[in-house]
Each structure stands twice: as C-alpha cells, then as structure tokens.
C-alpha cells in the first residue's frame, strides 16, 4: 500500500476490471427475494487489491453483475465497500443483455480469449461482438471519467485484462495527463497469430494509450512489441522496451503475477482444511496409504483437462499395479456456460471421466473422483496438501496460479508439481517441477511415473526451491514492482514535460 500511495500521492487511484470485488445478491429466488447477501472476492487478484484499495481509498469500476447490485448503489452507481467498514467506492457499470452477449461472451471470450491462447479455430469474430465490445469499453471509460471528474489532480487508472483493451484510448483523449497502466492477465500471441483478429490495429491503438502495459512474461512482452512493430507506424525501442506512438510513449514490462503464499500455507494448515479432508476422504474411501493426484481449474479448454485424462488413462493402462491405489481428484468449476465451446467441454469431460471409471474402476475403487461443487479455499488447500502430485497441465496459460497454490500448500509430506511446458508459470517454476507436454500422451504418462518415483529427499529439495520462489514473488511483490515501475515511468514523464 505504501508504494501505491507513493505513486498516487494526492491523486486518485481508479482500478477498472470486468469482474467486481463485491457483488450483492438476493438471498432468495425471484418470488421471495428477501435479504441481500454480499459475495466476497474469490480470485487472488481481487483479494490482493482489495486491501490496497482500502488503504488508498480509491475507486473500483466494474460490471455490476449481482442481481441486487442496483439496490445498494447511490445515484452515481457507487456503493462504499467493504460493507462492514466502508473505505473505498465500488462504481458499477450496467450491461444490457446485448452487451453481456456481445462484449463479455462474444468479443472477450470468443475472440480475444481463443486468439491469445493460440486457438484461432475457436475465434468467432462476429460484427455485433465487436460493436458491443467497443460500446462497453466506452461505457467503462465514461464511468472512469465520471468517477474522477471532481478529483483535483490527474488520476491514476489501472486497467485489468483483455476485456478493456479500448477503454484507455477514450480515457486518454479526455484526460491527457492521467497516468494509465494496464495489466494483461493472459498470454500475448506472436504477430502472425495476432493478425488473425480483424481488429488488431484498433486493439493496439487502445492499449498504446497507456503509459505502462504489463504482461506475465518476457515472451509476451516481446510478442507485443513485435505486433506493434508489424502493424503500426509506431517506433519501437527494444533497449528500453518502449513504444512511441501518436506522440505518446508506452513502456512494456513483465510482472509475473503471484499469490498470497503465506495465506495459502495457513489455509492448508487450518482446522477447516483438516475437517473437510476427514469428511471427503471418508466419503470417497481414500486411505492414508493411497497415492493421490489433483487437478483444480475452471472448466476451460485452455486448461488441458481432456489431454490430462488421456495421459492418466495411459498411465493406468501401462501400470496395472497402480490401479486401486493411485486416484485422481478433478475439481472443475463451471465457467462461461452458454458459450458452445464451454458447454461442450463440460459434457466431454464428464463423459470421459465416466468412461475411464467404467474401464478401470472396481467395486471399491474409483480412478477419477470428479466434483464441480463450490469448495471453500480451505477445502482446496486440503486437496493440494494431501495430493502427492499436483497436475497443472494447461495447453496454454498466461501464468497459472494453481501451480503456485499447490506449491505453497505443501506444508507436510512434500508433493510433486507436474507442470505443462506451455504455462507461463514454467518460467519461474520449471526447474523444480516435472515438466510434461500436454499433447504428448505417452511422455505425459511417463512424467507421472517419474514424479511418483522421486525420493523424499528429492521432493523436499524441489518443494523448498519452489516455495522460496512462490513466497519471494508473491502477489504483494507483484503489486510493489508494478507500482515502483509506474512511479519511475511517471517521474520520467514529468521531467520530460518540464524540460
Ligand atoms: C481468467 C481471466 C480473468 C477472468 C477469469 C475468470 O483468469 O484472466 O480476467 O476473470 O479468467 O473468467 P470469467 O469469464 O468468469 O471472469
């Protein structure tokens, strides 16, 4: 919070993201709506930014998607949060059904998401998706401008992710002196892939209105600079990793996102984790002597769940002595339902698990335990803690924080992280993990066998190395280095203006 306060001084900090940190929902169904519940930040980023926002008393602009959100806001669409001790403003942007369809489901999740995850065959660049994306980005920009109107000095605006690529340009046009930063939470593709998107120039034009653009890895930064060089008349300076475009300079930097590692370790050691595990293992007949692997993710085609199931099937086929003893737990969270690619994936994952369980399962052993239940953080931490293997094997992933959570939760008998070479996290965790290629089914199955064969001493060394990294580069370090860089860029900008 101090570093953030340094940059902001007496300026207002505005964070803008598609998802909101608090959502208000009626307890009951439509007929008997009753009281209003406040749902809390679930994701790591919202959980980490929330205390910062409380400390600097800024404004958070986000889509109001809770069914009771409109009930609790004032005339400026703002509600003070957290509810029990209000410290900052949450300003809600309301989306029409067309906007949810075109901006969120459409352009964000059926154009930009597959594009950036190198799955251009899944891209659906419909005209109305682009129209709604443009309009919604304008709405976000207007809400940001609205919330900073009466602030005396120029605001600091921090955009999150691919939903808001165009908003910075509109904010820049209205407030030339605002400090604008953007963090892109997913991969940035190479320039030949990026050009598959018909609006590639407009997207770059939007992002280059920022003073600072952040990505998880150096590779994504390089890809971004390549795209800018190929598609615009901007001047790219590789030495300083910056771009001069339309009279403005944008710095491009990598800031690998981390987790709250200490909190994750505490969760793994909590009574709630113990209690949940006692019940779960009893329900599913898991003995302490059994070997366990775990996968935790949103049901998204980028996460490589089907490829992982194929590798597990291969492993059980090749190692019959492991049947009855080596169990895989898949926690899947329903995500982006209503989009065909996601609905189909949900069906296929369920069907595959059923088929594998039919093939190898016995009266007293189920190879794959599958749950889509909502699980509290302590339950997930218990799963991580108990699992001998953490299988984090996306076919493409910007970073992947589950890999970091799994590592931080190894508070007892240290497990092995089995990690895809195609995850952003591999830059940081590749050395201590067993690396696999998600599409190489036999190699992946061998990787599982290798991970299971590691001695206790070997596992200890690996986990100690990985934990050092995950704790040193946690989410607070990420915030600090982002804001330190932002402050340095801002100082440079001011001295330029004065000279
Ligand atoms: C990814 C994105 C986030 C997004 C999350 C969940 O991690 O980078 O911006 O919030 O997925 O997806 P959803 O569509 O439910 O927000």
Residue whose CA lies nearest to ligand 1 atom number 4 = 19
Give the residue among 305, 331, 314, 292 at the shortest CA–CA distance from 410: 292
Give the pLDDT score at 258. 95
What tens digit of pLDDT does each residue of 40-52 get? 876 777 888 898 8
What tens digit of pLDDT does each residue of 286-310 get? 999 999 999 999 999 999 999 999 9
**14 alpha carbon – ligand 1 mean position (Å):** 20
How many CA atoms within 13 Å lie on the side-chain side of 156? 21
161 ligand 1 Cβ < 6 A: yes
Could you tell me if 171 and 145 are in contact, meaning their C-beta atoms sit under 8 angstroms apart? yes
- Among 107, 185, 216, 396, say which to mutate for ligand 1: greatest number of ligand atoms within 8 Å of CB: 185
User: For residue 142, what are the CA distances in angstroms to 171, 182, 263?
Assistant: 8, 17, 36
What length does the chain have? 499
336 ligand 1 Cβ < 6 A: yes
Give the pLDDT score at 231. 97
Give the pLDDT score at 31. 54
**Whole-angstrom distance, CA of residue 31 vs CA of residue 390:** 44
Give the pLDDT score at 46. 83
**Whole-angstrom distance, CA of residue 34 vs CA of residue 363:** 46
**450 alpha carbon – ligand 1 mean position (Å):** 33
Of ligand 1's atoms, which has the minimum distance to the CA of residue 298? 6
- Among 43, 259, 296, 299, say which to mutate for ligand 1: greatest number of ligand atoms within 8 Å of CB: 43
Of ligand 1's atoms, which has the minimum distance to the CA of residue 398? 8
**185 alpha carbon – ligand 1 mean position (Å):** 9
335 ligand 1 Cβ < 6 A: yes
205 ligand 1 Cβ < 6 A: no
**121 alpha carbon – ligand 1 mean position (Å):** 20
Give the pLDDT score at 3. 76
Give the pLDDT score at 8. 78
Could you tell me if 107 and 133 are in contact, meaning their C-beta atoms sit under 8 angstroms apart? yes
Other Cβ atoms less than 10 A from the Cβ of 459: the count is 18
pLDDT tens for the chain, 499 residues long, are: 677 777 777 788 999 999 999 999 998 776 567 799 999 876 777 888 898 899 889 999 999 999 999 999 999 999 999 999 999 999 999 999 999 999 999 999 999 999 999 999 999 999 999 999 999 999 999 999 999 866 567 899 999 999 999 999 999 999 999 999 999 999 999 999 999 999 999 999 999 999 999 999 999 999 999 999 999 999 999 999 999 999 999 999 999 999 999 999 999 999 999 999 999 999 999 999 999 999 999 999 999 999 999 999 999 999 999 999 999 999 999 999 999 999 999 999 999 999 999 999 999 999 999 999 999 999 999 999 999 999 999 999 999 999 999 999 999 999 999 999 999 999 999 999 999 999 999 999 999 999 999 999 999 999 999 999 999 999 999 999 999 999 999 998 888 777 7
216 ligand 1 Cβ < 6 A: no
263 ligand 1 Cβ < 6 A: no
Structure tokens at 356: 């594998």
Q: What ranges make up the beta strands (E) of 178-325? A: 179-183, 212-215, 235-237, 242-245, 248-254, 291-298
* ipTM exceeding cut-off 0.95 for this assembly: yes
Of ligand 1's atoms, which has the minimum distance to the CA of residue 162? 9
Sign of CA dihedral 206, 208, 209, 211: positive
Give the pLDDT score at 422. 98
Of ligand 1's atoms, which has the minimum distance to the CA of residue 161? 9
**285 alpha carbon – ligand 1 mean position (Å):** 34
186 ligand 1 Cβ < 6 A: yes
62 ligand 1 Cβ < 6 A: no
């Amino acid at each position: 919070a101090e570093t953030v306060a340094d940059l902001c001084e007496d300026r207002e900090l505005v964070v803008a993201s598609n998802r909101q940190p608090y959502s208000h929902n009626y307890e009951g169904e439509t007929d008997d709506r009753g009281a209003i519940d406040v749902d809390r930040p679930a994701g790591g980023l919202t959980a980490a930014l929330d205390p910062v926002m409380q400390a600097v008393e800024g404004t958070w602009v986000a889509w109001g998607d809770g069914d009771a959100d409109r009930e609790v806001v004032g005339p400026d669409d703002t509600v003070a949060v957290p509810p029990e001790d209000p410290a900052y403003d949450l300003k809600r942007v309301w989306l029409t059904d067309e906007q949810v369809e075109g901006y969120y489901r459409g352009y964000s999740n059926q154009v930009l998401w597959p594009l950036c995850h190198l799955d251009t065959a899944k891209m659906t660049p419909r005209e109305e998706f682009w129209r709604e994306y443009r309009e919604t980005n304008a709405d976000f920009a207007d809400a940001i401008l609205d919330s900073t109107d009466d602030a005396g000095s120029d605001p600091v605006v921090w955009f999150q992710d691919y939903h808001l690529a165009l908003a910075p340009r509109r904010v820049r046009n209205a407030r030339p002196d605002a400090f604008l930063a953007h963090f892109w939470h997913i991969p940035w593709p190479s320039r030949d892939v990026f050009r598959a998107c018909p609006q590639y120039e407009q997207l770059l034009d939007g992002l280059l209105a920022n003073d600072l653009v952040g990505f998880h890895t150096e590779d994504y930064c390089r890809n971004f600079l390549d795209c800018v060089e190929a598609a615009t008349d901007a001047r790219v300076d590789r030495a300083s990793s910056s771009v001069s475009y339309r009279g403005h300079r944008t710095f491009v930097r990598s800031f690998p996102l981390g987790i709250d590692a200490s909190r994750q370790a505490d969760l793994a050691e909590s009574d709630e984790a113990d209690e949940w595990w006692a019940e779960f293992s009893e329900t599913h007949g898991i003995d302490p002597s059994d070997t366990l692997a775990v996968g935790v993710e949103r049901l998204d085609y980028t996460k490589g769940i089907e490829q992982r199931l194929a590798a597990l099937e291969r492993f059980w086929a090749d190692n019959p002595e492991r049947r009855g003893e080596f169990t895989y737990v898949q926690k899947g969270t329903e995500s982006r339902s209503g989009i065909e690619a996601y609905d189909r994936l949900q069906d296929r994952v369920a069907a595959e698990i059923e088929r594998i369980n039919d093939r190898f399962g016995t009266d007293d052993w189920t190879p794959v335990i599958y749950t889509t239940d909502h699980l509290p953080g302590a339950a997930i931490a218990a799963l991580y803690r108990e699992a001998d293997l953490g299988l984090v094997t996306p076919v493409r992933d910007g970073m992947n924080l589950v890999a970091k959570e799994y590592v931080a939760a190894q508070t007892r008998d240290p497990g092995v992280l089995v990690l895809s070479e195609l995850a952003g996290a591999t830059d940081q965790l590749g050395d201590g993990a067993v690396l696999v290629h998600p599409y190489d089914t036999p190699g992946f199955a061998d990787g599982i066998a290798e991970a299971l064969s590691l001695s206790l001493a070997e596992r200890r060394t690996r986990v100690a190395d990985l934990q050092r990294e995950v704790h040193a580069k946690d989410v607070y370090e990420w915030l600090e280095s982002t804001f330190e860089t932002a402050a340095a860029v801002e100082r440079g900008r001011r001295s330029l203006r004065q000279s």
